[in-house]
Every structure is written in C-alpha cells, then in structure tokens.
C-alpha cells in the first residue's frame, strides 16, 4: 500500500470512531433515503455513500430498521407537541402536525420501520424504546390538563397518550392520512370529552 493510499484510508470515515463518523453516516443514509426511498434503502448503499465499512455502521445500527428509525427521528420536526393552555387544542395540533409530517413522505419511512420490526428483534426493541419516549412526551399534554382541572384527576396520562398514538398509527398503517384540521379537531374533541369529569 502506498503512502497516499494509507493517508486516504486514515481520512475515510470508516477509520474514525467518533460522533462525527456517526453524523457522516446519518448524512449519507438520509440522502439515500430521499433519493431512493425506504424500500431500496440498504446498509451496503449507505456504506458506499459514506465511505465507511459495513462493520462500522453495524457497530451503532445492528440492522437497516434501526438506522431508518434514527433517520426518521432526525428528520422529525421539533415542534409536534404544543402547550396552548387547552387540552383540546393541544391534541388537535398534535394530530394535525403528526399526520401532516407523515403525509409529507415520512409516513412511508415509518411504515417501513414498523414492517422491519415484525422480523428484526433489534428494530423491534428500538421501536419500543422510541414509542415509550414519545408516550412520555405526549403524556405531558394530559398531565398539564389534569393540573388545570380540565380532565379527571384519575386519568392515566401515559395510557391516554398511548391511545392517541394508537389512533395515529392505525391511520398511518391503513393509509388514511387525508385528514384536515376540522377532522383533527373533531377527533380531539372526542378524546378530551371522554376524559372530562362527569357531572352528576
């Protein structure tokens, strides 16, 4: 091996073991996902694009599904959850923003992740961890509503969040993302009124 070849190998991201390497791999993977779509996405293609060895990629992402989930999360807008001071509006915005994000193309990626989770244990575990973290974020909407006295004090915020997410996932997996603000508001009203304190 000549000196220039050794130099080039040292500069290649496959030889580095640091956060910059992970970011470079994610950049390459994100670009490929945009260009080719989730169905054609592969670790081999990412390795070529990122100039990294497959062992380097598999060190952090044991399967294509786990890498897809990190890209999906990386692209997701920071503002999905709102705090308007009214639970019904918060839930409306959550539904509207999440479904809108999926409708923009991210839904295809998340559907692929769910499919991967059915046959790959590493993807299934990472998806469980991801969903649990999201439930806690969404659960905060209901915790604030309890504190404001909007809904019954014995409401389980995490269960309420899971029910809301289950609705959204069902819409995604059955390809029913044609939802406008009026329908989002109607769904939010149904959810919130079911949690309100019943007056005798």
Residue pair 65/117 in contact (Cβ under 8 Å)? The answer is yes
Q: What is the pLDDT of residue 106?
A: 94
pLDDT tens for each residue of 44-54: 999 999 988 89
pLDDT tens for each residue of 153-197: 999 999 999 999 999 999 999 999 999 999 999 999 999 998 987
**pTM for the full model?**
0.83
Residue pair 198/153 in contact (Cβ under 8 Å)? The answer is no
Spatial CA neighbour of 184 closest among 101, 66, 60: 101
Q: Return d(Cα 112, Cα 99) in angstroms, integer.
A: 16
Q: What is the pLDDT of residue 8?
A: 41
Q: What are the residue ranges in the chain where pLDDT is below 70?
A: 1-18, 199-200
Q: Return d(Cα 90, Cα 147) in angstroms, integer.
A: 15
Q: What is the pLDDT of residue 110?
A: 96
Q: Would you tell me which CATH number, out of the four given (1.20.59.10, 3.60.15.10, 1.10.357.10, 3.40.50.360), belongs to the domain 78-193?
A: 1.10.357.10
Q: What is the pLDDT of residue 39?
A: 84
Residue pair 41/26 in contact (Cβ under 8 Å)? The answer is no
Q: Would you tell me which CATH number, out of the four given (1.10.10.60, 1.50.10.20, 2.160.10.10, 3.90.1170.50), belongs to the domain 3-60?
A: 1.10.10.60
Q: What is the pLDDT of residue 200?
A: 55
Q: What percentage of residues in the chain have a pLDDT greater than 90?
A: 76
Residue 187, C-beta contacts closer than 8 angstroms, at least 6 positions apart: 91, 92, 95, 167
Using the structure block, give the residue that is written with the tokens 């993977």: 29
Q: What is the pLDDT of residue 6?
A: 34
């Amino acid at each position: 091996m000549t000196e220039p070849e050794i130099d080039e190998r040292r500069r290649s991201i496959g030889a580095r073991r640091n956060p910059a390497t992970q970011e470079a791999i994610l950049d390459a993977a994100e670009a490929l996902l945009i260009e080719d779509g989730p169905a054609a996405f592969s670790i081999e293609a990412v390795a070529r694009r990122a100039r990294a060895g497959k062992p380097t990629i598999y060190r952090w992402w044991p399967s294509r599904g786990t890498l897809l989930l990190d890209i999906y999360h990386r692209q997701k807008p920071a503002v999905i959850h709102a705090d308007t001071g009214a639970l019904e509006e918060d839930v409306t915005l959550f539904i509207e923003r999440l479904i809108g994000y999926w409708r923009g193309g991210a839904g295809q990626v998340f559907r692929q992740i769910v499919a991967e989770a059915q046959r790959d244990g590493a993807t299934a575990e990472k998806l469980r961890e991801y969903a649990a973290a999201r439930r806690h974020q969404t659960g905060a909407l209901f915790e604030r509503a309890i504190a404001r006295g909007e809904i019954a004090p014995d409401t389980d915020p995490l269960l309420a969040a899971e029910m809301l997410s289950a609705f959204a996932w069902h819409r995604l997996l059955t390809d029913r993302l044609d939802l406008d603000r009026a329908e989002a508001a109607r769904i939010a009203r149904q959810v919130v009124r079911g949690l309100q304190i019943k007056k005798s």
